[in-house]
């Protein structure tokens, strides 16, 4: 009887072990099915980590390789990326590169011309630190809607950074570099120095760089003698200076110039009479008519005094 009881226990124990082993096997198989998912998840995580580290290294390299703005505090740049690009474009077309440029200080530029450029290109120039964040947000929203980057929201400091060191393409990488360099310019230079360099390197026509060369090229006078109307016309050329010439018949140029005069009056840089005269001068210049000379009158002959 005892022997029979022993056999029954061994049989029951064996079945229990088999059941337990079977369950363990099923659990193992279930775990085995999840294993590839965990492995693939780990691989994806490692790939993302590698990509992130690569991006950090690339960004660090790009940041370190960007030029220092500090030397510009006392030195005028001998050339710019834009000037070199235009020269290369001319050579590729079989032409000799043209360069007209004469450096002048802010004191040698008409106050009306400076006001026109500031109001047209960057009315908040003396208030921001290189980037107008509000305008930048608006420009990014427009870029998302249109699917491409536009020119909008570039401050004078950003434009200077691009002209000095970068290309004219509109890639996100170039824009990122532009923002970094604009920050460096603002850290290294006072506002008036940034504006001085900008006014002396910005493009004002085919091979024409700087406001002094622009004034002489388009009006035959030095920058110190520019009128409000002439300054507004030069400022209106800046979005596309080689296309928006005074003789191009550009409606956008004319509209922009009149708008600038209105802005100058609104911020009290011009009174009503000066603004009206400037509007008339813009129309006259764009029509190609010469300035009216004051009528010359023969001096009256001396006559005897009445008795």
Query: Which pLDDT score is estimated for 168?
Result: 86
pTM exceeds cut of 0.85 = no
What is the band of 302 on the pLDDT scale with cuts at 50, 70, 90? very low
- The pLDDT tens digits for 10-41 are 544 544 444 444 544 454 444 445 555 566 66
pLDDT at 291 over 50: yes
What is the band of 149 on the pLDDT scale with cuts at 50, 70, 90? low
Q: Which long-range contacts (CB under 8 A, 24 or more apart) does 233-237 make?
A: 233/257, 233/282, 233/285, 233/286, 234/113, 234/116, 234/117, 234/204, 235/113, 235/116, 235/117, 235/119, 235/120, 235/121, 235/260, 236/120, 236/260, 237/204, 237/205
Query: Which pLDDT score is estimated for 138?
Result: 66
Least confident span in 149-153, 170-174, 269-273: 149-153
For the segment 126-148, the average pLDDT, to the nearest whole number, is 72
For the segment 156-167, the average pLDDT, to the nearest whole number, is 96
Across the chain, what does the average pLDDT equal? 82
For the segment 80-103, the average pLDDT, to the nearest whole number, is 97
């Amino acid at each position: 009887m005892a022997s029979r009881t022993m056999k029954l226990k061994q049989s029951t124990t064996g079945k229990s072990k088999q059941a337990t082993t079977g369950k363990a096997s099923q659990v193992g198989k279930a775990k085995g099915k999840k294993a590839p998912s965990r492995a693939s998840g780990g691989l994806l995580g490692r790939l993302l980590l590698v990509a992130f580290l690569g991006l950090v290294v690339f960004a660090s390299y790009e940041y370190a390789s960007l030029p220092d703005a500090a030397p510009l505090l006392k030195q005028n740049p001998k050339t710019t990326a834009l000037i070199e690009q235009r020269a290369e474009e001319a050579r590729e077309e079989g032409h000799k590169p043209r360069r007209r440029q004469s450096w002048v200080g802010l004191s040698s530029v008409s106050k009306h011309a400076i006001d026109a450029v500031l109001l047209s290109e960057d009315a908040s120039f003396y208030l921001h630190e290189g980037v107008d964040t509000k305008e930048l947000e608006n420009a990014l929203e427009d870029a998302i809607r249109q699917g491409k980057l536009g020119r909008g929201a570039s401050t004078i400091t950003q434009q200077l950074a691009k002209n000095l060191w970068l290309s004219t393409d509109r890639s996100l990488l170039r824009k990122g570099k532009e923002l970094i360099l604009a920050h460096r310019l603002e850290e290294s230079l006072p506002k008036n120095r940034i504006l001085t360099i900008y006014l002396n390197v910005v493009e004002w026509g085919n091979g024409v760089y700087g406001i002094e060369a622009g004034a002489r090229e388009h009006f035959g006078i030095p920058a110190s003698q520019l009128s409000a109307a002439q300054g507004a016309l030069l400022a209106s050329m800046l979005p596309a200076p080689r296309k928006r010439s005074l003789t191009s018949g550009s409606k956008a140029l004319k509209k922009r110039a009149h708008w600038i005069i209105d802005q100058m009056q609104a911020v009290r840089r011009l009174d009503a009479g000066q603004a009206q005269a400037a509007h008339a001068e813009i129309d006259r210049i764009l029509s190609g008519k010469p300035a009216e000379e004051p009528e010359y009158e023969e001096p009256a002959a001396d006559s005897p005094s009445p008795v």
